[in-house]
Amino acid sequence: MAKLDQALSYFHDRVSDCIKSGKDISVITHLDCDGITSGSIVTKSLIRSGAKCTVRTVNEFSKNLIEKMKSDSRQFHIITDLGGGFAKDIDNALDDNWIVVDHHQIPQEEFDNQRVINAWKYDIDGGKDVSAGGMAYLVSNAIHKENTDLAWIAVVAALGDRQDQGEKKSFTGINLDIASAAKKDGQVEIDLDILLVGRETRPLPDALAFTSQPFIEGLTWNRDACLSLLNSSGIKLKDGSRWRVPAELTEDEKRTLLQTISKYISTKNASDILDELVGYTYTLSGEDKRSFLRDAREFSTMLNSCGRIRKAGVGVSICMGDRTKMLQEGENILVEYRTFLRTYMNTLSSERWRITDNGQYLMVNGEGLVPENMTGAVSSLLGGSQKNTGKIIILRTNGEEGTIKFSSRKSTGCKSDVNLGLLMRECAAKVSGVGGGHAAAAGARITKDKLDEFLDHLEKNVTRMQNSSISE
Same domain, 341 and 356: no
Query: 188-220: per-residue pLDDT in tens?
Result: 999 999 999 888 888 999 999 988 777 788 888
pLDDT at 28 over 90: yes
> Are residues 266 and 389 part of one domain?
no
Lowest mean pLDDT among 88-97, 247-256, 383-392, 401-410: 383-392
Q: How far is CA 5 from CA 11, 12, 76, 114, 125, in A?
A: 10, 11, 22, 12, 17
CATH number of the domain bearing residue 86:
3.90.1640.30
Q: Are residues 317 and 463 in the same domain?
A: no
Query: Do residues 312 and 406 both lie within one domain?
Result: no
- Express as a percent the part of the chain with pLDDT over 70: 97
Interval 394-410 mean pLDDT: 93
Same domain, 23 and 37: yes
pLDDT at 198: 86
186 inside domain: no
* 46 vs 414, residue with greater confidence: 46
Beta strands 278-284; 188-194: pairing state: antiparallel
Same domain, 364 and 339: no
Decide if 176 is inside a domain. no
Using alpha carbons, select from 160, 164, 211 the residue that is nearest to residue 381. 211
Distances in Å between the Cα of 125 and the Cα atoms of 122, 194, 292, 439 are 9, 28, 31, 10
| 18 contacts 50 by C-beta, under 8 angstroms | no
Q: What is the pLDDT of residue 471?
A: 46
Confidence of residue 449 (pLDDT cuts 50, 70, 90): very high
- Domain end call among 327, 348, 369: 348
The string of DSSP codes covering 344-404 is HHHHHHH-GGGEEE-SSEEEEE-TTTS-GGGHHHHHHHHHHBGGGTTPEEEEEEE-GGGEE
How confident is the model at residue 472, as a pLDDT?
47
pLDDT of residue 338: 86
Domain membership of residue 171 (yes or no) is no
Residues 406 and 343 in one domain: no
Q: H or E segment at 108? A: none
Cis-peptide, bond into residue 107, ω within 30° of zero: no
More confident call, 20 vs 265: 20
**pLDDT surpassing 60 at residue 356:** yes
* pLDDT per position as a tens digit, 280-320: 999 999 998 878 899 999 999 999 999 988 899 999 999 99
In a domain, 175, yes or no: no
Same domain, 108 and 227: no
Last residue of a domain, one of 281, 315, 348: 348
Of the candidates 402, 395, 407, the residue with the CA atom closest to the CA atom of residue 446: 402
The residue among 361 and 134 whose pLDDT is bigger is 134
- pLDDT value for 325: 86
pLDDT for position 145 = 86
Does the residue 124 lie in any domain?
Answer: yes
Residues 337, 203, single domain; the answer is yes
Tens of pLDDT, residue by residue over 225-281, are 999 999 999 999 999 999 999 989 999 999 999 999 988 886 666 777 888 889 999
Q: Give residue-wise pLDDT tens across range 458-467.
A: 888 877 766 5
Average pLDDT, the chain: 91
pLDDT at residue 470 tops 50: no
Who has greater pLDDT, 308 or 77? 77
Number of domains in the chain: 3
User: Are both 323 and 226 inside the same structural domain?
Assistant: yes
Kindly state whether residue 155 falls inside one of the protein's structural domains: no
Give the per-residue pLDDT at 116. Answer: 97
Q: Are strands 403-410 and 441-447 parallel, antiparallel or unpaired?
A: antiparallel
Position 226 in a domain = yes
In this prediction, residue 461 carries a pLDDT of: 83
Q: Taking a C-beta distance cutoff of 8 angstroms, is the pair 132, 101 a contact?
A: yes
Domain final position from 308, 325, 348 = 348
Residue 384 binned pLDDT confidence (cut-offs 50, 70, 90): confident
**Residues 395 and 377 sit within 8 Å (Cβ to Cβ):** no
CA distance 51 to 149: 19
On whether both 15 and 135 belong to a single domain, the answer is: yes
Percent of the chain with pLDDT over 90: 72
Domain range for residue 389? 352-471
pTM for the full model? Answer: 0.85
Is 183 contained in some domain?
no
Looking at the fold, whether 365 and 297 belong to one and the same domain comes out as no
Q: Determine the average pLDDT of the residues in 443-452.
A: 94
pLDDT digits (tens, 9 = 90+) for 339-352: 999 899 999 989 99
